[in-house]
Structure 1
């Protein structure tokens, strides 16, 4: 099987492009924005199952099996069903990877790339060049970053008592804020931004680890059935990880909140 990292990096790149598009109102034509949003969603939706199965096969299943071997022994019936699930996952992964390759080698994907590089990026560069100067650009960037920071803070009010959906919303808000800070990074002193972006990255990583554990039972149920022994074992593992990650997420949020917003003077 191909190195799965390319799918992960492709999804990151496309999400960053979507973040850039979201900041492009007034620079790109509305029909161009809508077309790019539609095509980026198509790419993410097509590559998403492969990425979910990569995480499940390479991270979740080995962790669950290690816990089972430690507690129940290598010869337990549940361990055997888990290994059967591993083989089934490998088959599904190959199909998902094939679909991903078909996506990025398709004429439709080629048109998407050409539209991005031939229309969107030149328009964005032209829009930036037409601005009144670096100071105006910094004020514009600060306003947009601040808006996303406030959205994250609002979502995080439910961090302590929130469940999977609430933490997912916080993770998405953190991701959008991070992409905005990266997009406008050159407009601000690097030293001021470094600590903020580092704390934000740690928070995003903790939320991502929680999300991977939270979706594992759904992936297992789709592969093995909701009542299979392996699915039950993964649900138990997921619940344990969720409880432990709550403390890590809270600590990451506290550290992030303590960092001064780099786009505000003072």
Structure 2
């Protein structure tokens, strides 16, 4: 079964001439550059039956020839696309399923009702510049620079992107080449996690791909710790990068929330496996940088869409609160724009590429004893019990002092609970699903309460960011007073709720100790 492995990069439209004369490409090229005009028609049913089956069907005209291609769902992370692909030459611009050999595709596409309903959904038209590159290790990569548009009826969306398709060798060389390109180019380059087909469907439906939440990591008890760490890190990286497009589109705050969750999970993975991995400091430093870039936008999202909106519902006729909301919305948009700029930056792209390369190095060196800490050789089954128990006991010790905890200590407790929850989610496939679900639910309840307390603690800091010129009026000062008073009451209520919720947690059975 043919498998396509490629890395996609999005670039500014004015970069084409620059790329044609890039010394890096000339040095690596083992073929003369070729130019093609490509006209591609994508098909589906009116209710998008193929899309629902994660299948893309297209006819592509190259010169006088037509190629029919079917792609099925694969994996996408950090711009790296891996999926199954079938291509056959057809004589005309008509679909032909007679040459199919895969039983599942035959069953799907030979269904009379489906085949009769197939229609043109969107078209891509672009110029492709191609050359074959050879990397230092012998891996060969097809470099394709595509510039054109996606069309749905009279709506058009331009694009300029580079596809790096692995022809032979190691997939990691795609990241190596992408990093070399990123460093050689004077303009920002962004890893693209959405294919042309997916962008066409977004244009056709007017609906973006939904926010991507964390998926379970399938682990086995006999796995070594390095393998486990890499699987978890790749899982977090997948969640992080697949939410980029939604953040950049800027129409749903949930995408940014999921990127922050992915970052917290990834940093927790580094903490959990800190005794295993080496040479991690540069990567951790950059993950902290990215966290700092996204935090203000998320804090203002919560403040405006959750906290102030609740107060406005109660004081709907208060002019000062309505005016303050408008001011806060301006600040929220400012911080969201800053977050988007960070994601578009060269530093962000370098972080993602270097993290992928670093993970490959960790995997490659995992069999070399001198490259690993001795704890890396411990089996997963020996590692998890003490880890989860130690974290659980730490939460209990701090929880017993709940009456004495200030805002900083409560925040630290929240972080401890969050790390325990992520650790359990990482390891959940090793244990009873029912017991895991119950334990995670108890942690989530505590985390939600402490999250609300943390949001309340942040309120005063966010109010202080509002320019004094906006708060001089009597109505504005009164509005801030209402928010501060409501916030204090809310804070006390949540602290009382925290005490009640902690009580049953003390009796939680440590089911992993009998693993």
Q: What is the TM-score with the length of structure 1 in the denominator?
A: 0.86
1:240 aligns with 2:467: no
**Paired residue for 1:55, among 302, 315, 318?**
302
Query: Alignment partner of 1:263: what SS?
Result: helix
Report the counterpart of residue 267 of structure 2 in structure 1.
Answer: 18
**Paired residue for 1:91, among 302, 321, 330?**
330
Report the counterpart of residue 190 of structure 1 in structure 2.
Answer: 433
Whole-angstrom distance in 2 between the partners of 1:29 and 1:8: 29
Shift of the 156–224 alpha-carbon distance from structure 1 to 2, 3 Å rule, reads farther
Shift of the 262–124 alpha-carbon distance from structure 1 to 2, 3 Å rule, reads farther
Whole-angstrom distance in 1 between the partners of 2:461 and 2:311: 15
Equivalent residue pairs, number? 253
Whole-angstrom distance in 1 between the partners of 2:253 and 2:365: 36
1:111 aligns with 2:111: no
What do you get for the CA RMSD once the two structures are aligned?
2.4
Structure 1 stretches of 5 or more lacking a match?
none
Report the counterpart of residue 228 of structure 2 in structure 1.
Answer: none
**Paired residue for 1:146, among 389, 408, 431?**
389
Shift of the 38–118 alpha-carbon distance from structure 1 to 2, 3 Å rule, reads same
Whole-angstrom distance in 1 between the partners of 2:511 and 2:446: 17
Whole-angstrom distance in 2 between the partners of 1:196 and 1:125: 35
Deviations along 1:126-168, one digit per CA (max 9) or x if unpaired, are 859x9768xx312201112222222222222221332322221
Report the counterpart of residue 442 of structure 2 in structure 1.
Answer: 199
Report the counterpart of residue 41 of structure 1 in structure 2.
Answer: 288
Deviations along 1:79-123, one digit per CA (max 9) or x if unpaired, are 222111111111111111111111112121112112222322673
Comparing 195-204 and 113-122, the one that deviates more:
113-122
Shift of the 35–232 alpha-carbon distance from structure 1 to 2, 3 Å rule, reads same
Larger radius of gyration between Structure 1 and Structure 2:
2
* Superposed counterparts of 1:247-258, under 5 Å: 247-258=496-507
Report the counterpart of residue 229 of structure 1 in structure 2.
Answer: 478
Deviations along 1:11-45, one digit per CA (max 9) or x if unpaired, are 11011100111123354322xx1112111111111
Query: Is the 1:220–1:234 contact (alpha carbons within 8 Å) kept by the matching residues of 2?
Result: no
Question: Relative contact order, CA 8 A, sep 6+: which one is greater?
Answer: 1
Whole-angstrom distance in 1 between the partners of 2:363 and 2:460: 42
Runs of 4+ in 1 over 3 A off after TM superposition: 124-128, 130-133, 224-227
Whole-angstrom distance in 2 between the partners of 1:15 and 1:201: 15
Q: CA deviation at 1:54?
A: 0.3
Query: Is the 1:28–1:124 contact (alpha carbons within 8 Å) kept by the matching residues of 2?
Result: no
| Structure in which a larger fraction of residues adopt helix | 1
1:208 aligns with 2:451: yes
Q: CA deviation at 1:125?
A: 9.4
Query: Is the 2:396–2:506 contact (alpha carbons within 8 Å) kept by the matching residues of 1?
Result: no
Q: What is the TM-score with the length of structure 2 in the denominator?
A: 0.46
Query: Is the 1:24–1:124 contact (alpha carbons within 8 Å) kept by the matching residues of 2?
Result: no
